[in-house]
Amino acid sequence: MFYGDPLKNNRITVLGGGSFGTAIANMIASNGHPVTLWMRDAENARHCMEVGENSAYLPGYKLDPRLQVSADLDAALAEASVVFFSIPSKAFRGVCQQVAGLIPAETIVVSTVKGIEGDSFKLMSEILAEELNQPRIGVISGPNLAQEVADGEITATVIASADQAVCQTVQDVLQTAFFRVYANSDRYGVELAGALKNIYAIAAGMAASMEVGQNSLGVLITRSLAEMTRFAAHLGADPMTFLGLSGVGDLFVTCASDLSRNYRIGYALGEGKSLEQAIEDVGQVAEGVNTTRIVKEKAEQLGINMPLASGLYDVMFKGGSLPRVLLRVMLSEQPDDVEFRVNR
């Protein structure tokens, strides 16, 4: 349990100094909790402390003076009761291995990462379970564009864990007047929804750059929801989770906002830029790029029909013509493309 008054007796650590890690660390500090934000770059950590701003990822956004920023991993994790992991999926396991000896058993650990490990098809919470010593695990996912969280726009997220005390603790730590935190016990479904929707955000960005009509976007988002739900249910997730905030809520936001890195990747591709150029333009990790490849290969292995993910894969990794792939996807016949059937 989270003993005592969390504002006085417990320390929080956020690992990862990107835009979302910075935003939630600052929010935790504003709530009065002792919190340290750890980042690899010692120079950037010093800059954050001296200037009061993470200029590299959230320029113009002032940090709470109570927030400590450090590149010293041992110091950052000292006496931490709750540890948030905001590390890109490619580096996630490595960081877990690095901190395994620094995080005691029964520590609450929470992943905020919406990605999948390529070689193993493991979600980040599964990596936490493998690499750490009996952690109590939670996952945060939802329509949480970092810039809007930083700006104090009204939003909400989902904390998913089978451990109700973990959910309650994270709600106590994060919840504010503008940031609501809802609980869900389907950790796998919530986490998988967060990873899968990034694929379709790229597709939506492409469509937007081609100036398709609103009807077309409606079809795209509907087919995206059906496709990701079909895939997730096959893997054992609760399909009803995908009708909630971490499913359709997150999908809608990422498919409609240029604040989404994955949407911007798709938009750049739709303008005719190469994948490498698009990634360079965005300048931050867009998990949907690797997730598209990983999920397409997994779907083929399992025999799951995913025409949108397959078409996107062809455009990004095989040099496929976007108009031709789009036409092929839209004309393909698949009864379940626009609805999810629980009995299938």
Q: Which residues are catalytic?
A: 197
For residue 59, the 8-state DSSP code is T
> 243 by DSSP, 3-state: which?
helix
Q: Work out the angle at residue 284's Cα, subtended by the Cα atoms of residues 279 and 286, and round it to the nearest 5 degrees.
A: 65
Give me the half-sphere count of Cα atoms (radius 13 Å) on the Cβ side of residue 159.
Answer: 25
Region for 74 from its dihedrals, namely left if φ exceeds 0, alpha if ψ lies in -120 to 50, beta otherwise: alpha
Tokens of 340: 């999810």
What Å distances lie between residue 67 and 29, 31, 217, 280, CA to CA?
5, 11, 41, 30
8 Å CB contact between 29 and 35: yes
Q: How many C-beta atoms surround the C-beta of residue 7 within 10 A?
A: 12
Segment holding 81, helix H or strand E: strand 80-85
Tell me the three state secondary structure of residue 30. helix
**Rounded CA separation 78/279 (Å):** 36
**Measured between alpha carbons, how far is 10 from 78 in angstroms, rounded to an integer?**
11
Query: What gap in Å lies between CA 63 and CA 14, rounded to an integer?
Result: 14
Residue (of 193, 171, 191, 182) closest to 27 by Cα position:
171
* DSSP class per residue in 250-287: HHHHHHH-TTSHHHHHHHHHHTT--HHHHHHHH-S--T
